Structure 1
Amino acid sequence: MKTAALIDGFNLYHNMNNDKYSKYKWLNFYKLFRYVLGTDESLEIHYFTTVNYEDLLNYNEKEKDAKKQRHLTLIKAEEQHGIISHYGTFRNKEIKCPKCGKKFQRDVEKQTDVGLGAYLTYLAFSLNVKKFIILSADTDLSPAIKLIKSNIRKVKINLLLPPGVTKTKLSENCNKTIPLTEELLSKCLFPPVFKAVDGKTIKCPPEWL
Structure 2
Amino acid sequence: MSTVIAYVDGFNLYYGMRAKHGHRYYWLDLAALVRRLRPTDTLIGVRYFTAPVRGEPTAAANQSTYLDALVAHSQGEVETVLGRFVEKKPRCRECRTCWVCACTPPHIYRTYEEKATDVAIGARLVEDSATGASDVALIVSADTDLVPAVEAAQRVCPSRSVYMALPPGQVRLSKYFTTVGHFNINETALRASQLPPVVQDTTSGALYSRPAKWK
Pairing partner for 2:154 from 131, 149, 170: 149
Q: Secondary structure at the match of 1:22?
A: coil
Pairing partner for 1:90 from 85, 88, 101: 85
Q: What CA deviation, in whole Å up to 9, does each residue of 1:123-143 have, x standing for no partner?
A: 111355331001001100000
Note if 1:74 corresponds to 2:66. yes
The 1-side partners of 2:58 and 2:13 are apart by: 19
Q: What CA deviation, in whole Å up to 9, does each residue of 1:6-38 have, x standing for no partner?
A: 100111112222472311001110110111111
Pairing partner for 1:114 from 113, 119, 133: 119
8 Å CA contact retained: 1:2, 1:129:
yes
Change (3 A) 1:201 1:43: same
What are the residue-to-residue correspondences of 1:100-111 with 2, within 5 Å? 104=99, 105-111=110-116
Root-mean-square deviation over aligned CA pairs: 2.4
Residue aligning to 1:179: 184
Aligned length: 200
Question: What are structure 1's unaligned runs of at least 5 residues?
Answer: 57-63
Q: Secondary structure at the match of 1:23?
A: coil
8 Å CA contact retained: 1:142, 1:170:
no
8 Å CA contact retained: 1:138, 1:170:
no
Moved over 3 A (4+): 93-105, 126-130
The 2-side partners of 1:30 and 1:99 are apart by: 49
Percent sequence identity over matched residues?
28
The 2-side partners of 1:100 and 1:161 are apart by: 41
The 2-side partners of 1:122 and 1:77 are apart by: 27
Q: Which has the higher helix share?
A: 1
8 Å CA contact retained: 2:69, 2:200:
no
Residue aligning to 2:196: 191
Note if 1:200 corresponds to 2:195. no
Q: Secondary structure at the match of 2:159?
A: coil
Larger Rg computed on CA atoms: 2
The 2-side partners of 1:99 and 1:36 are apart by: 49
Change (3 A) 1:130 1:93: farther
The 2-side partners of 1:87 and 1:166 are apart by: 28
Change (3 A) 1:40 1:120: closer
8 Å CA contact retained: 2:144, 2:176:
no
Q: Secondary structure at the match of 2:24?
A: helix
Residue aligning to 1:60: none
The 2-side partners of 1:22 and 1:72 are apart by: 16
Q: What CA deviation, in whole Å up to 9, does each residue of 1:73-113 have, x standing for no partner?
A: 11112112121000100012355677998765421110011
Change (3 A) 1:170 1:146: farther
